[in-house]
Structure 1
Amino acid sequence: MPGIDTSRTFIPLNIAVMTVSDTRTSETDTSGDVLAERIEKAGHHLADRVIVTDDLQMIRNQLRTWIADAHIDIVISTGGTGLTGRDVTPEAFKSVYEKEIDGFSAIFHRISYEKIGTSTIQSRATAGVAHGKYLFALPGSPSACKDGWDEILQYQLDNRYRPCNFVEILPRLQEHK
């Protein structure tokens, strides 16, 4: 049965949050607030937090900065995963992936479907691995961030979660190097 093994010691991770938006500010970034609050409540460290405009190169540059930072383990973004012309977050993420985590999108859509029905088809949530880091791109709504964290990430980013989790294999992500 899946669940938290309380006999194991929790390992806090350093997680960076990127909000992708042309309109949000630090005062109006409710989706970024949702992620930051949940990250810290879970016992992880909020390593960095930025707002980046919907610009492919700017998103890619921020990802590369964090990928190169030895003090960051995980990147989670919110916003820019839709279908409009300005929504380029998945393209930026996929341009830096070494491996895509296809199951993340599949599970996210299953969870989202239960709440918003077929409207979930408009999201291009994605996840992957780059240079020993996990990268997750969530939609820009606070409810989508809650779903992504509460239903997937809080478990997979907790080394105590059984039968397996992303934390256990984090040290092995660069075995090919």
Structure 2
Amino acid sequence: MAHVHVDAPFVPLNLAVLTVSDTRDFDYDGSGDLLSTRLVEAGHWLGDRRIVADDIYRIRAVVSEWIARDGIHAVLVNGGTGFTPRDTTPEALVPLFDKTIEGFGELFRQISHADIGTSTVQSRAIGGVANRTLMFALPGSPRACATAWDGILASQLDARTRPCNFVAMVRPDAAPCASRQPTTTPVTAEHGEEKQP
């Protein structure tokens, strides 16, 4: 369980939400609505929101625009993470990653196992970072998006979460995690002499 330091300052992030679907529009986008509402209620800003067809190049074009834009700290993509021929969100995003956040997909499937059992193996939820912008690909159902937000993203996008969170990676003005701060305690070598920090 994450430990939140309530005395630490909250640092709002600018998030973009992308719904990947051939059929949804803004009148019928339960997952996009849920993510947009949750992030604003948490104190973040909704920097942009779009809907794009299940097309690898259209997905990649929108996300590429956002990661190149100053001021978008994280991108939440919902839809297209299954195994049908039209599910290409992971294929669209992975080439953009500077680093993959392996633990995001692993933890999402662990949490969702309690709700949907072994069907969670059919989720290809992934996370990554590029150009100091976080990217998370979530399944397209509102229930799965709620699982990802409530179980992982709400705390990891909160600068008060300890021992670690993602905020300092995308907001240089945020305090680094305690585990990433340089130590000032001298390290003792094998034979008792002190090493300089």
TM-score category of the 2 structures, normalised to the smaller one: over 0.9
| Structure 2 letter corresponding to 1:159 | A
- Displacement of 1:4 in angstroms is 1.5
- The count of residues paired between Structure 1 and Structure 2 equals 172
Larger radius of gyration: 2
Match of 1:131 in 2: 131
Tell me which protein shows more helix as a share of its residues. Answer: 1
* Larger RCO (CA within 8 A; separation ≥ 6): 1
Residue aligning to 2:188: none
Gaps of 5+ in 2: 173-197
The answer to whether 1:115 aligns with 2:112 is: no
Pairs within 5 Å for 1:1-177: 2-171=2-171
- Identity across the alignment (%): 52
Deviation by residue 1:97-154 (Cα, 9 ceiling, x = unmatched): 1110000000000001011000111110000011110000000000000000000000
Q: Where do 5+ consecutive residues of structure 1 fail to align?
A: 173-177
- 1:175 matched to which residue of 2? none
Alignment-mate amino acid for residue 38 of structure 2 = R
Deviation of the 1:95 alpha carbon: 1.4
Question: Per-residue deviation at 1:168?
Answer: 2.4
TM-score, normalised with respect to structure 2: 0.85
- The separation in 2 between residues aligned to 1:76 and 1:132, in whole angstroms, is 14
Measure the CA separation in 1 of the matches of 2:31 and 2:130: 24
Q: Residue deviations 1:5-41, cap 9 Å, x none?
A: 1111100000000000000010000000000000000
Alpha-carbon distance between aligned partners in 2 of 1:74 and 1:67, rounded to the nearest angstrom? 8
**Distance in 2 (alpha carbons) for counterparts of 1:52 and 1:136:** 16
Counterpart residue identity of residue 116, structure 1: I
Given that 2:125 and 2:139 are in contact with CA atoms closer than 8 Å, whether structure 1 keeps it comes out as: yes
Residue type of the alignment partner of 1:103: G
Which residue identity lines up with residue 80 of structure 1 in the other structure?
G
**Partner amino acid, structure 2, of 1:69:** R
Moved >3 Å (runs of 4+): none
